[in-house]
A and B are shown apart, each in its own frame.
Chain A
Amino acid sequence: MWKSTVDGKRLTFRLAGINNQNFIMRDDETGTWWQQVSGCALHGPLAGHCLTPILWDEVAFAVFRADHPGGEVLRPDEATRAEYDTARWEEEIADLSTVTPASDTDPLEARDLIVGIAEGDAALAFPADEIGGRTLLLARVGGMPVAVVLHPDGRSLRCFDRRVGGETLDLYLAAGSDPPIILDAKSGSLWDFSGAALSGPLEGERMRRINCLKDYWFDWKNYHPKTEIYDPEQLD
């Protein structure tokens, strides 16, 4: 999900091709080709530019609706909606909770599902196995302490920057809580799945939500060649 303004001009994009199973977009204004997953221009007048990401939220509609009761939903295109179902296969792979936890760090296979966080030049990939087993993971990406939180629905996932008011939160998921309640062990404050503090000394504060991408390992590694892989043994 990208902001579509470049050098002050709004660009209009179209599907234009595919490059190693990730698609290429083309803007009508300059004809430049852009890689969908990286947002960077491949060829054309705007080569050298990269689109700015916008924060997105990849969750079940029930989760979106709970957080945004006044929100809007994209209407289907009546002419082609019958074809939507055949493109659903990506959705079906998103269930992270049914995967059994890995007992040791296996090297990843090309089509293993991961969740990736990138910050500056640093990148970290969380294998789906790890997330399914633990539901709340803490790690550092570059200098940024992060939390990866899996909703009880087993699929909705959010990632946060754990720094609030100069402190780094030490987070735990309250077992069995639905909707999820997150506890900060340091301050005793309680947080909800949107990152808002519900009670305790930090009530009223909000954790910054960050983008995390569900991707295949081969695709993530292709665009983040120096990515690290989450290691649960590594102390935060």
Chain B
Amino acid sequence: MMRRLHGSAILLWLLALAALAWVAIPIYLIQPFAPQTRAAVAWSYALKSRAPWVTGALLAAAIAVALGGGRRLRTPVAGTLAAIALLVLGGVAWLATRNHFEWMFHPLPAARFAPAAEADWVDPQDFVLGVSVGEVARAYPVRALAYHHVVNDVVGDEPIVATY
């Protein structure tokens, strides 16, 4: 049965939950198949763009609290709670640097091309998005763009981003 929990352990959990909320709110707001309000997008940008350093700062503060907690955090209950809080915080600080949309749709590492006559992975009736700059004409199969969503490329001398 838990008795009075040491203040440091409680503080560590508050820091962990604050970091978790900071990262979880934009993930919740920016979900596919759910509507977004302007405010939701604005808040998501505000939280997500700052998440790496905010969660990093919360993690640093938590480590300081854990070290300052001293012997009282080395009891079985408080120590376990403190360790879990730190692990959660570490995980959240790592997640804050990730782009989970790219887990769902891996980016194309580098745009590479083959002559149209050799493009046997595209059927004649498959759709492409064609771009021409000067003498250079490139086709981006819709099937690939629908997955990757974003392809950075340079066509002729024009840097472009192909999207679908």
Known contacts A73-B116, A75-B113, A87-B143; A68 and B132 CB within 8 A of each other: yes
A21 adjacent to chain B (CB < 8 Å): yes
Contact, CB under 8 Å: A4 / B143: no
Known contacts A43-B45, A56-B130; A83 and B116 CB within 8 A of each other: no
CB distance from B97 to the nearest CB of A (A): 13
Contact, CB under 8 Å: B105 / A15: yes
**What is the interface size of chain A, counting residues whose CB is below 8 A from a CB of the partner?**
65
Q: What are the 10 A-B residue pairs with the smallest beta carbon separation, nearest first?
A: A57-B130, A71-B137, A62-B124, A68-B137, A72-B113, A73-B119, A43-B45, A87-B146, A87-B147, A17-B30
Range, interface on chain B: 35 or more
A85 adjacent to chain B (CB < 8 Å): yes
Determine the chain B residues whose CB is within 8 A of the CB of A20 once the complex forms.
35-36
Interface residues as binary, A12-27 with B (CB distance below 8 Å gives 1, 0 otherwise): 1111111111011110
Contact, CB under 8 Å: B138 / A71: yes
A64 adjacent to chain B (CB < 8 Å): yes
B61 adjacent to chain A (CB < 8 Å): no
**Which A residues lie at the B interface, using CB under 8 A?**
1-5, 10-21, 23-26, 31, 33, 36, 42-44, 51, 54-62, 64-65, 67-77, 79-81, 83-91, 94, 153, 155
Known contacts A56-B129, A59-B127; A3 and B159 CB within 8 A of each other: yes
Known contacts A23-B149, A31-B49, A42-B45; A90 and B107 CB within 8 A of each other: no
Known contacts A61-B125, A84-B146, A85-B143; A18 and B137 CB within 8 A of each other: no
Known contacts A14-B107, A16-B99; A73 and B152 CB within 8 A of each other: no
Which of A5, A25, A91 is most buried by chain B, counting CB atoms within 10 A of its CB? A91
- Complex Cα distance A75/B107, Å? 13
- Complex Cα distance A21/B32, Å? 6
Contact, CB under 8 Å: B150 / A72: no
Which of A11, A42, A68 is most buried by chain B, counting CB atoms within 10 A of its CB? A68
**Neighbour of A16 across the interface among B101, B116, B164, CB < 8 A:** B101
Determine the chain A residues whose CB is within 8 A of the CB of B125 once the complex forms.
60-62, 153, 155
Using CB atoms, name the residue of chain A closest to B120: A73
B117 adjacent to chain A (CB < 8 Å): yes
B64 adjacent to chain A (CB < 8 Å): no
Contact, CB under 8 Å: B150 / A61: no
- Complex Cα distance A70/B117, Å? 8
- Complex Cα distance A89/B151, Å? 19
B44 adjacent to chain A (CB < 8 Å): yes
Known contacts A14-B150, A43-B45, A59-B128; A74 and B141 CB within 8 A of each other: yes
- Complex Cα distance A10/B149, Å? 19
B142 adjacent to chain A (CB < 8 Å): yes
Contact, CB under 8 Å: A74 / B45: no
Contact, CB under 8 Å: A24 / B146: no
- Complex Cα distance A65/B120, Å? 12
Determine the chain A residues whose CB is within 8 A of the CB of B151 once the complex forms.
74
Contact, CB under 8 Å: B30 / A19: yes
Determine the chain B residues whose CB is within 8 A of the CB of A69 once the complex forms.
116-117
Determine the chain B residues whose CB is within 8 A of the CB of A153 once the complex forms.
125
Determine the chain A residues whose CB is within 8 A of the CB of B160 once the complex forms.
1-4, 54
Known contacts A25-B161, A61-B139, A61-B141; A55 and B131 CB within 8 A of each other: yes
Known contacts A13-B150, A21-B33, A68-B116; A155 and B127 CB within 8 A of each other: yes
CB distance from B25 to the nearest CB of A (A): 13
